[in-house]
Amino acid sequence: MLKNLIDALRQKTLSLSDLPATLRVPGHGGQPDIDGLGLASASVDDLAFAIQGLEIKSSEIVCQLHSLRRLHDLVRSRGALGTDKIANIFGGEV
């Protein structure tokens, strides 16, 4: 029955098509992390904390992505080729 609820929500609108069946709720207010909390059992606060946790992870990934992209642009501007090693491109100047 719970799976039918989640499937129904996923089919209700395209914006819910990637709805997970379970959540990871980071610990808060002295509460431990909750891994695999069933979506149908989650409270609205559980959703909010799960969203915050995903936003933190997403932000970290985006920061790493931008740093790697800037490094790639920098080494390419120095004439680096695809097989060149990063350490060799900077030649001990760091």
pLDDT digits (tens, 9 = 90+) for 30-71: 889 999 999 989 999 999 999 999 999 999 999 999 999 999
pLDDT digits (tens, 9 = 90+) for 3-28: 688 888 888 888 898 899 999 999 98
Other C-beta atoms lying within 10 Å of the C-beta of residue 49: 22
Helices and strands counted in the chain (H then E): 3, 2
Dihedral sign, Cα of residue 7, residue 13, residue 17, residue 23:
negative
* Predicted pLDDT of residue 94: 59
* Predicted pLDDT of residue 34: 95
The per-residue pLDDT of the chain, averaged, comes to 91
pTM of the model: 0.75
